[in-house]
Amino acid sequence: FLPSGGCASCHDDRSAGDAMRLSGQHRRHVISKGYSCSTCHGCTVDAQGAIISGALHADLKTDVCGNFTWTPSTRRCWNTGCHGSWTWSSRALTACTLCHGGATDGRLQGLHQTHLSQQDISCDSCHAPVVVGASTIGDLGLHMNGWVTVTPVANWNPTAGTCSSFTCHGELHETESW
């Protein structure tokens, strides 16, 4: 079944940026990140958006299938490579280290190891408003957007990889190389 107006008759028109008919985290995954519908609905549509199973598509049920486990009653993805256990409408993460690494595993760049393991500084000290504390996303639009957001108080210069004119540990730092 394909309506005469195409997919946009019932779903959003991605090219127009109309995301009003997308619920939960669709805006982030489809509009912001550009994932195809088949990433999570691969039993219904192929990578080009062509309907694979008219029977599944026309039954008015959400058919979620992919390389993960989906639990409809809780609206959670499990066993995903991107988030661990994720709640469709939540900002809380259970496995930040899946993508970002931990304080001691060597995947974090620059002085993260020193700040997180030796100084016991939380992520939001430098990356607010992206993260609140150590494991809650503060601003969904800033997380996974391809940019590193550093709290303005540190005067971050991404080109030079330095912070300047800030106070940490009770000491004024003029320019620190990350």
pLDDT of residue 169: 64
Pair of tokens at residue 149: 């957001």
Query: Where do the domains of the chain lie?
Result: 1-66, 100-178
Cβ neighbours for 134, distance < 8 A, ≥ 6 positions apart:
96, 122, 123, 124
pTM for the whole structure: 0.46
pLDDT value at 127 more than 80? yes
Residues of the chain above pLDDT 90, percent: 0
Pair of tokens at residue 120: 């016991």
pLDDT value at 10 more than 80? no
pLDDT band at 41 (very low <50, low <70, confident <90, very high): confident
Paired with 84 in beta bridges are: 80
pLDDT band at 50 (very low <50, low <70, confident <90, very high): confident
pLDDT of residue 29: 75
Q: 178: closest CA among 162, 154, 164, 165? A: 162
